[in-house]
């Protein structure tokens, strides 16, 4: 049994950590912080967590007592909160973008921030870096779009089948966070589709950096907001140098993800869909025949709050501590 803290427990990813860890047999959540809500019971902002007997507290990072801490804090805040805890020997899984980039200059350019406290961190995509995660003290949990996009592209890229990838992603609104804005208002989102940061979203460079470790590939990325609460559907368009059959691609993906509990490579031609992974830590991958112009399409679906954030963070924790990888992540997608 380990003791776990959550910094920034009032947001959506904090709420997901609390919801999921409630099932974990090896974990006790002892601290859930929120400066604004210190003293309030959890259920005041998370009405679905009526049964959790826990209150928000306010703890300075340097005073934190825990074996592991999840920092569900905004970009720019984590870089000040994480280092004091790492120094104290607390393991940290950071859900912000602050420790995701190897190349700090890319981070600084795209996040518009100066990074004062770089640290060695492992990029926490288990299907990519499981062995490194086992030994990590600081894990940078991947962005939601990069999670779905990389999982869809990785076997192709690692096999060096293509040098140019276009990712057209569709995301649910929970990715915009818990704070009300014009972007996440019901009347602006419902019955609507809106492309945004069309050629300038900062998850593009994150995908670019991670895939570039595997082969020389250029990544173009465009997200769309769709009237969905949870989920990201990534549609990858690419033109392999040589034509490939769908059965070849299917076998490539099956082999690549063999043994990965949370990856389901679907039958050829079967579409990934958000409802199949809703509320779960699974990623569904769909493979389709090339079209007449040699275009190959791969699709993936994840729940942005679980596999794209809090579930993957727990998966990383399970790996770090040698727990069953599926602990508290067993639930299957909520369909319908």
Q: Which 24-43 positions form the footprint of its own copies (CB under 8 A)? A: none
For its own copies, the binding residue among 159, 297, 321, 325 (CB under 8 A) is 297
27 Cβ neighbours under 8 A, 6+ residues apart: 1, 2, 4, 21, 317, 328
Backbone angles phi, psi at 167, to 5 degrees: -115, 115
Residue with Cβ nearer its own copies (119 or 229): 229
For its own copies, the binding residue among 57, 188, 212, 215 (CB under 8 A) is 188
For its own copies, the binding residue among 204, 240, 308, 311 (CB under 8 A) is 204
Q: Is 194 in the site for its own copies (CB under 8 A)?
A: yes
100, 140 Cβ separation under 8 angstroms: yes
Residue with Cβ nearer its own copies (64 or 283): 283
Cα gap 46→60, rounded to integer Å: 23
69, 45 Cβ separation under 8 angstroms: no
For its own copies, the binding residue among 3, 88, 229, 260 (CB under 8 A) is 229
Listing from the earlier edge strand, what are the strands of the sheet with 122-123? 27-33, 2-7, 68-71, 91-94, 138-140, 122-123
Residue with Cβ nearer its own copies (4 or 298): 298
For its own copies, the binding residue among 30, 57, 212, 289 (CB under 8 A) is 289
Q: Is 286 in the site for its own copies (CB under 8 A)?
A: yes
Site residues (CB under 8 A) for its own copies, limited to 148-187: 164, 166, 168, 170, 172-174, 178, 180-182, 184-187
Q: Which one of 79-87, 109-117, 122-130, 190-198 is the stretch in contact with its own copies (CB under 8 A)?
A: 190-198
Q: Is 333 in the site for its own copies (CB under 8 A)?
A: yes
Residue with Cβ nearer its own copies (68 or 285): 285
Cα gap 210→167, rounded to integer Å: 15
For its own copies, the binding residue among 195, 243, 245, 248 (CB under 8 A) is 195
One DSSP character per residue, 36-77 reads TTTTSBGGGT-GGGTT---B-B---GGG---SEEEE---TTT
290, 239 Cβ separation under 8 angstroms: no
Q: How far is CA 16 from CA 50, 58, 267, 277, in A?
A: 14, 19, 30, 15
Cα gap 17→11, rounded to integer Å: 10
Catalytic status, residue 144:
yes
Residue with Cβ nearer its own copies (13 or 67): 13
Q: How far is CA 67 from CA 3, 5, 122, in A?
A: 5, 8, 18
For its own copies, the binding residue among 190, 258, 259, 322 (CB under 8 A) is 190
Q: Looking at 82, 93, 144, 309, which residue is catalytic?
A: 144
User: What's the closest the beta carbon of residue 334 comes to its own copies, in angstroms?
Assistant: 5
Residue with Cβ nearer its own copies (16 or 67): 16
Q: Is 293 in the site for its own copies (CB under 8 A)?
A: yes
Q: How far is CA 131 from CA 122, 127, 214, in A?
A: 10, 10, 16
For its own copies, the binding residue among 2, 26, 40, 49 (CB under 8 A) is 49
- Quick one: which of 167, 262, 274 has its CA closest to 228? 274
User: What are the tokens at 177?
Assistant: 């966070």
Site residues (CB under 8 A) for its own copies, limited to 234-253: 235, 237
Q: Which one of 30-38, 134-142, 152-160, 195-203 is the stretch in contact with its own copies (CB under 8 A)?
A: 195-203
Q: Is 310 in the site for its own copies (CB under 8 A)?
A: no
233, 149 Cβ separation under 8 angstroms: no
Q: Which one of 44-52, 63-71, 79-87, 128-136 is the stretch in contact with its own copies (CB under 8 A)?
A: 44-52
- Residue whose token pair is 């991958």: 285
Q: Is 105 in the site for its own copies (CB under 8 A)?
A: no
Active site residues: 144
């Amino acid at each position: 049994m380990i003791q776990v803290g959550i910094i920034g427990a009032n947001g959506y990813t904090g709420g997901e950590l609390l919801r999921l860890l409630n099932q974990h047999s090896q974990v006790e959540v002892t601290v859930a912080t929120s400066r604004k809500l210190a003293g309030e019971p959890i259920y005041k902002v998370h009405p679905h967590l009526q049964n959790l007997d826990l209150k928000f507290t306010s703890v300075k990072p340097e005073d934190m007592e825990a074996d592991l801490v999840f920092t569900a804090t905004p970009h720019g805040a984590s870089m000040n909160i994480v280092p004091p805890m790492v120094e104290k020997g607390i393991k940290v899984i950071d859900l912000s973008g602050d420790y995701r980039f190897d190349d700090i200059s890319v981070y600084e350019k795209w996040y518009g921030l100066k990074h004062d406290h770089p640290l060695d961190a492992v990029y926490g995509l288990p299907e990519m870096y499981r062995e490194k995660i086992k030994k990590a003290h600081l894990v940078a949990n991947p962005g939601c779009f990069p999670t779905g996009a990389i999982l869809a592209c990785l076997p192709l890229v690692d096999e060096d089948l293509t040098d140019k990838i276009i990712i057209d992603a569709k995301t649910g609104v929970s990715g915009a966070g818990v704070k009300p804005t014009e972007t996440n208002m019901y009347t602006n989102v419902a019955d609507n589709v809106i492309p945004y940061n069309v050629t300038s979203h900062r998850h593009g460079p994150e995908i670019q950096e991670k895939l570039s470790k595997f082969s020389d590939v250029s990544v173009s990325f465009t997200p769309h907001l769709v009237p969905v609460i949870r989920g990201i559907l990534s549609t990858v368009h690419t033109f392999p140098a040589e034509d490939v059959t769908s059965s070849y691609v299917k076998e490539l993906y099956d082999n690549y993800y063999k043994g990965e509990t949370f990856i389901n490579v679907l039958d050829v031609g079967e579409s990934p869909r958000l409802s199949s992974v809703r509320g779960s830590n699974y990623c569904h991958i769909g493979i389709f025949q090339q079209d007449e112009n040699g275009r190959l399409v791969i699709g993936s679906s994840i729940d942005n709050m679980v596999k794209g954030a809090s579930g993957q963070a727990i998966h990383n924790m399970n790996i770090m501590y040698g727990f069953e990888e599926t602990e508290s992540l067993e639930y299957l997608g909520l369909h319908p």
